[in-house]
Amino acid sequence: MNLSKTINRRQWLLRIQQIGIIAVGVCLSPLTVFAKKEEADSAIKEITGGAPIRDGRVKLVIPPLVENGNLVVLNVSVDSPMTANNYVKVIHVIAEGNPLPHIFAAYLSPRSGTANITTRVRLADSQRVWAIAQMNDGSFWQGYAETLVTLSACTEMV
Amino acid sequence: MSKTSRTSITMPAQAKKGAIIEIRAIAQHDMESGFRYTEGGKSIPRDIIRIFTCSYNNTEIFKADFYPGIGANPLIIFTTIATESGTLEFKWVGDDGYEASNQARITVT
């Protein structure tokens, strides 16, 4: 009687340990780490219409550490010759941690010369920001940058 | 009632034909995001600039859609190829009848 009780407790402790390991594993699994927030996902789907997006060609530059999220200088450039039959049509920028992820869309043409846009944006939180470019042949390319925001925009009182 | 505000354009006044020129366009605007609240807990309605366009001798060469994620006094820097002498016209259109425009001349040699 006494023996079975100790075994039970031992098993119980082991079980707890296993659950703990599984829980930690779920938190750190690459699926959850790399999953985009749902709203950003739907915003991206709206842009692409479900078309596949390839990585590369798009370079997004934001400061890695931002003190004030109200004005963040953001530069996005796309590797493209910008000729009449090979150019960037649209550049979209999506911040997955913002209440409204879609930040801006810039429409370019071969007359732009380069695909290089700089603007100032608001970031609500430390997050990953995506840039998605659509070429004139309809293909989508993406790039991203991570940033740490210490004072967030959007939510402050007046 | 239509609103307007100050705007500013920075770009070269002269350029060689075929050169890529950089244009900086800024407009004075609060870009009220619609996500903020007053101390009384009332939500402040959204009031932003929605569309920015640039035309070169009446041909549209650049357009941008702004959303609440753009910071106050929206600045946008973009490029274009200097093709001919003429006027570049810039236009901002936003909520509550907001409209602003600006012009800049360029001499292409």
Q: What pLDDT digit, counting tens, does each position of B56-85 carry?
A: 999 999 999 999 999 999 999 999 999 999
| CATH classification number, B12-108, choose in 2.60.40.2300, 1.10.286.10, 3.30.930.10, 2.60.40.10 | 2.60.40.10
Residue A44 φ/ψ, nearest 5 degrees: -70, -40
Closest CB from A95, A112, A157 relative to B39: A157
Closest CB from A99, A107, A118 relative to B77: A118
Residues 6+ positions from A7 with CB-CB distance below 8 Å:
none
Reported as a pLDDT band with limits 50, 70 and 90, residue A157 is low
Reported as a pLDDT band with limits 50, 70 and 90, residue A20 is low
Check: CB of residue B105 under 8 Å from CB of residue B11. Answer: no
Do A121 and B71 lie within an 8 Å CB cutoff? yes
Query: What is residue A33's predicted lDDT score, i.e. its pLDDT?
Result: 44
Distance of CA A138 to the CA centre of its chain: 22
Residues 6+ positions from B81 with CB-CB distance below 8 Å:
A111, A112, A113, B18, B19, B20, B21
**Tens digits of per-residue pLDDT, A99-146?**
899 999 999 999 999 999 999 999 988 999 999 999 999 999 999 999
Distance from the A38 Cα atom to the nearest Cα atom in chain B, whole angstroms:
18
Residue B38 has pLDDT above 70, yes or no: yes
Of B69, B89, B93, B84, nearest to B4 (Cα)?
B93
Contacts of A156 in chain B (CB under 8 A): 36
**Tens digits of per-residue pLDDT, A65-86?**
998 889 999 999 999 999 999 9
Is B90's Cβ below 8 Å from some Cβ in A? no
Nearest CA in chain B to A114: B79
Contacts of A119 in chain B (CB under 8 A): 70, 74-77
Size of interface A-B (CB pairs under 8 A): 108
- The whole-angstrom separation of Cα B74 and Cα B30 is 9
ipTM for the complex? 0.90
pTM of the model: 0.81
- The whole-angstrom separation of Cα B3 and Cα A9 is 75
Contacts of A95 in chain B (CB under 8 A): 69
| Domain definitions of chain B by residue range | 12-108
How many residues does the structure list for chain B? 109
Is B61's Cβ below 8 Å from some Cβ in A? yes
Reported as a pLDDT band with limits 50, 70 and 90, residue A31 is very low
- The whole-angstrom separation of Cα B99 and Cα B80 is 23
Residue A158 has pLDDT above 70, yes or no: no
| C-alpha to C-alpha distances, A147 to A77, A98, B41, nearest whole angstrom | 18, 13, 30
- The whole-angstrom separation of Cα B61 and Cα B79 is 10
Distance of CA A43 to the CA centre of its chain: 11
Contacts of B21 in chain A (CB under 8 A): 113
Parallel/antiparallel/unpaired status of strands B59-66 and B49-56? antiparallel
Residue B10 has pLDDT above 90, yes or no: yes
